[in-house]
Chain A
Amino acid sequence: MDVVTTETEPRTLDASEPRLAPPKSFWERNEHALLGALAMTIFLLFWEAAVAFEWVNALFTSSPSRIVTTGHGMFADGSIWPHLKVSGYEFAVGFGMAIVTGVPLGILMGWYGRLNAILDPFVSALYATPRIALLPLIMIWFGIGLESKIAIVFLGAVFPILVNTITGVRTINADFVKVARSFGASDRQLFMTVALPSSVPLLLSGLRLGLGHALIGIVVGEMYGATHGIGHLIAVSGARFQTDAVMVGIIIIASTGVAMTELLRLIEKRFECWRPTVGG
């Protein structure tokens, strides 16, 4: 009862010897980045011109050249370093602790339904609360020193990380689970080979969200009862109408955010070379 077919030699579809289309031009490759840079340049020039021609008062708006001068001065005389050191420390410790607790706990809560059922009410409640509202309580508990700032950074970052990790582990494609089971996967193997790899994208976007909240935590935390830090710099300079210094602080926070987000995007790329690219 064998089904016999005429041809028995395996035919192969060949992927070797690729032919190359002509390379894209510099503009084609970088169009979006160039457009962005161009728009930013025009904006800065317009801003500078608005101050130079006295359409607006520099006391309120500052200007790119004044920001650069002030920033340069703060780095040159070293007055910026204590602020950077304090904020950097708070951010590193707070965000680091958020990752170290949020990711493992999220994985556990995603994998064990009962643990999730127990902890979910707390997580949901705190996730929905603006953590900034907790600041007075935190200052009562941790004082006005570094600890309270670290705590607020931690609280800001940990919940987005936690919630995204839980969702990532819980929403595994049912087909993939079926495949794993069909090949005889144990619970542990199902977790290692299906749940973990498929939760990576959501986990990383959780880190990105958490990053934003951590930066908010720094700025707001340092506005109350701090002696140093970028948030403190912004608050104090604002109170003294030193718009240029406020802007320097804002730019430092913003560029930290952008740099960290880019870093995470690179990590994401490394983990997701398997994902088809969308759009151009």
Chain B
Amino acid sequence: MEAPRQAKLELRSVSLEHVNERTRQILPVLQDVDLKVYEGELVCLVGPSGCGKTTLLNAVDGLMPLAGGTILVNKRAINGPGPDRAMVFQADSLFPWRTVVQNVMYGLELQGKLPQQKIRERACALIQLVGLAGFADHYPHELSGGMRQRVNIARALVMEPQLLLLDEPFAALDAQTREFMQVELLKILQRARTTALFVTHQIGEAVFLSTRVVVLSARPARIKEIIDVNLPPTRTLAMKHQPEFLKMERRIWRLIEEEAEKTGMLTVA
């Protein structure tokens, strides 16, 4: 057995609600979710569309209030956004009026703890890490989708977060770029030694990236099942065709299918 591991992130019976501005109806999104994410892990959240994966991620980032329960990062309950967490957002959230390096410098500039020169150095190091050396002074619109997402990842990692949150970061990419970015992400995270929580709706992506996959139920979401991914730690794209991989993918798909049927999203013949 390994030594007892540090839980980087702990959810204790977390519940979330959404208020419809027009009807004032309170909609439960997430109910009594308990989850631990350990140091060095990459945990993926999957579930039927609209089940509240992104909402949960926002809550962990501190962007929305909890309806119940506690979220602990490094054993400390969170209260709003903090430097211990950083989010890689969906698609295009880079500031178009800032260059690559200025985008990556953004978080540290807000903190205002380091001198500008130091911030630039760290940003440049991160740009190097994500493989974009030479593009520091480009504007986002001059980059491809895959390159923009690398910047997005660098912008979060430069904060040296304890926990990296990724909200479907590759959703807007084409299928090829997406696969390459998955491999790249694993390399980048390994170099940066960061624990990560990753939301995706693509099951293959979840299996490929994760040490564990958390399957959420239909709304209000609970944890339906947690699946250990028993693939060798070194992941290659070829693994996506191995029987073991496909079996896991099928199993998760079946779990999600069950949930989709419950909501009527999928009609049973």
Contact = CB atoms under 8 A, between A and B. Distances in A.
Interface of A: 1-8, 10-16, 175-176, 178-185, 189, 193-194, 197-198, 200, 272-276
B21 to A, nearest CB: 14
B38 interface: yes
Of the listed residues B87, B97, B98, B233, the one surrounded by the most CB atoms of chain A closer than 10 A to its CB is: B97
B92 to A, nearest CB: 8
A274 B98 contact: yes
Contacts, number: 114
A13 B42 contact: no
B157 to A, nearest CB: 13
A274 B189 CA distance: 30
Contacts of A3: 42, 186, 189-190, 209, 211, 233-235
A174 to B, nearest CB: 10
A13 B159 CA distance: 23
B170 interface: no
**When A and B form their complex, which 4 residue pairs have the shortest distance between CB atoms, in order from nearest?**
A15-B134, A183-B107, A276-B141, A274-B139
Given A184-B82, A273-B139, A179 B89 contact: yes
Contact of B134 (A7, A8, A10, A16): A16
A260 B86 CA distance: 45
Contacts of A183: 81, 86, 106-107, 110, 159
Contacts of B183: 5
Task: Sort chain B's interface into a size bin.
Answer: 35 or more
B82 A193 contact: no
Contacts of B132: 12-13
B134 A1 contact: no
Given A12-B134, A183-B110, A7 B187 contact: yes
A12 B133 contact: yes
Nearest to B128: A10
Nearest to A186: B110
A192 to B, nearest CB: 10
A276 B83 CA distance: 33
B131 A274 contact: no
Of the listed residues A16, A184, A275, the one surrounded by the most CB atoms of chain B closer than 10 A to its CB is: A184
A200 B96 CA distance: 13
A121 B190 CA distance: 57
Interface in B78-114: 81-83, 86-87, 89, 92-93, 95-99, 106-107, 109-111
A55 B98 CA distance: 59
Given A7-B187, A13-B147, A184 B233 contact: no
